[in-house]
Amino acid sequence: MLKTLLEAWKVKDLRKKMLWTLLLLVLFRLGANITAPGVNGPALAEIANQSLSNGILSTINIISGNAFGQLAIFAMSIGPYITASIVIQLLTVAIPALEELQKEGEAGKQKLNDYTKYLAGALAAVEAFGVYMTFRNYGVFLGESFIIPFMFVMTLTAGSTLLMWIADKISAHGIANGSSLLIFAGIVVGLPQAATTLWSGLVMTEGGFSPAGLAALIGIIIGAIIIIGAVVYVTEAERRVPVQYAKRVVGRKMYGGQNTNIPIKLVMAGVMPIIFAMSFMQFPPMIIQLINPNILTDTGFWAGVYKLFAFTSISDKASIWGFGIAHVILYLALIAIFTYFYTKMVFNTTEVANNLKKNGGFVPGIRAGKPTSDYLANILKYVSGFGSIFLGVIAIIPILISFTGLGISFGGTAILIVVSVALETIKQLEAQMVVRNYKGFLD
């Protein structure tokens, strides 16, 4: 990886892209450390550790680079944009007009992207107000006047919109996917603090050096290495479907006759299903809190729904286990649904089968056309099933750890995102280096 970065730095165009990406990431980190107006810093510090120690909110805080815990101007990260992307993609399947736009090429995709940004701006405003209503109950804000919530909501909405612009600029002029790289940067900057917290909480405690804590820390490190190895192995693994091309004579030349394969990644959807599921789990509690500010002390149906999506707000231990198990089941179900949905969007079996048929290709033992499409769909079903199980196991590690009371929030999801984005970024750099070093057959 370091060799690839050093080689890319020597290429002038890639060096400019890397510097541009670095500049935008610095801007992201600057905004993640500027607290929004109207926030009472000492009061926020008192409740932040308690309210953001477990579950989905802790993962959101990690992804935002602790911006959510500080109620910074980038507190919501790119969550509203991801949620808007989910909604638009679902509507594309249900609404024929949006489906036609998707088939119109770059112009249609640009219109869909514009619709996504408009919807993301509206969702950002709603979620920002939900964040205000949630933290207002803890006395985090400096007053109750109208100007305080107005400035806070406008600031967080503008911050989320600015992050959408930064992500677009990184994707267009940088070295990787902007949204993924922002999430990657938010997680990486929290590693030193996570290491310090583990050391002080397990090894050098108030009672002095703890041998049992050191053994636990070594176990955590070994577990992290195992997870990293599993993520790299599964991310790079693929199911190869053999393909043959029939021989055909054109004029005096013979074409075809070669053997190749269709590589199908075991986790084709990558980390996106987890990010989609987190965004989906985050939205309902904010809306419920917006409608009913006293939901934490209420009982009834909507209080149960709130606890289901944000079970870490419960003080009763028995209720935590009850709603926590239901929370885990719902979270796993969403990851499975988004895995199948996203994989279907990325790999269109009908289109692949038609392209094979047009070019004289076929899967040995399978007829061309619809039988090939059905065969690929059947393979994709099992591959997606394995991918959803793997992603689900990785995603629930922080939630399962939260039941033990260890207070460790950095888990498998963060490791999966970091490793996946790092591998994808290196691959894109290598591809761009190959393009720039290829001279062509005339040179």
- Is the pLDDT confidence value at 302 over 70? yes
pLDDT score recorded for residue 321: 58
| Region at 208 (left for phi over 0; alpha for psi -120 to 50; beta for the rest) | left
Burial tier of 184 (Cβ tally within 10 Å: 0-12, 13-18, 19+): buried
Instruction: Give the model's pLDDT for residue 350.
Output: 86
Instruction: Write the burial class of residue 12 (CB in 10 Å: 0-12 exposed, 13-18 middle, 19+ buried).
Output: exposed
Residue 281 vs residue 2, higher pLDDT? 281
Give residue 161's pLDDT: 92
Rounded to an integer, the average pLDDT of 356-384 is 85
More confident residue, 252 or 224: 224
Confidence of residue 162 (pLDDT cuts 50, 70, 90): very high
Residue 162 contacts residue 121 (beta carbons within 8 Å):
no
Segment 362-377 shows an average pLDDT of 86
The Cα–Cα gap between 160 and 327 comes to 27
**Predicted pLDDT at 209:** 75
CA distance 86 to 95: 14
Region 393-416: mean pLDDT is 65
Q: What does the pLDDT read at residue 275?
A: 76
- For helices 301-309 and 317-346, what crossing angle results, to 10°? 70
Averaged pLDDT for residues 220-233:
83
Report the distance separating Cα 64 and Cα 133, nearest Å: 20
Give the per-residue pLDDT at 53. 53
What's the confidence (pLDDT) of residue 390? 86
Which pLDDT belongs to residue 155? 93
pLDDT of residue 436 exceeding 80: no
Max CA pair span of the chain: 86
| pLDDT on residue 406 | 53
Task: Tell me the pLDDT band of 255, cut-offs 50, 70 and 90.
Answer: low
- Lowest mean pLDDT: which of 113-117, 405-409, 423-427? 405-409
Kindly state the tokens that stand for 251.
């004029």
Please say whether the beta carbons of 424 and 265 come within 8 A: no
pLDDT tens digits, residue range 333-363?
888 888 888 888 778 888 888 888 887 788 8
The mean per-residue pLDDT over the stretch 31-56 comes to 73
Mean pLDDT across 361-378: 86
* Residue 140 φ then ψ, to 5°: -80, -25
Q: Has residue 408 got a pLDDT over 70?
A: no
How many whole angstroms separate alpha carbon 30 and alpha carbon 59? 20
Q: Residue 45 — pLDDT band, cuts 50, 70, 90?
A: confident
Q: Which domains does the chain have, with CATH numbers?
A: 1-189 (1.10.3370.10), 237-410 (1.10.3370.10)
| 421 has pLDDT over 70 | yes
Q: Does pLDDT of 392 surpass 90?
A: no
What's the mean per-residue pLDDT of the chain? Answer: 78
Q: Which tens digit of pLDDT belongs to each residue from 188-212? A: 887 787 778 777 777 777 667 777 7
The whole-number average pLDDT for the span 420-428 is 81
Instruction: State mean pLDDT over 134-151.
Output: 80
Could you tell me the pLDDT band of residue 248, with boundaries at 50, 70 and 90? low
Q: Which two three-digit tokens encode residue 180?
A: 């993924």
Specify the pLDDT at position 157.
Answer: 93
Checking if the pLDDT of 320 tops 60, the result is no
Average pLDDT over residues 113-124: 90
Cα 223 to Cα 9, 197, 226, 325, 408, distances in angstroms: 34, 17, 5, 23, 13
Question: Model confidence at 316, in pLDDT bands (50, 70, 90)?
Answer: very low
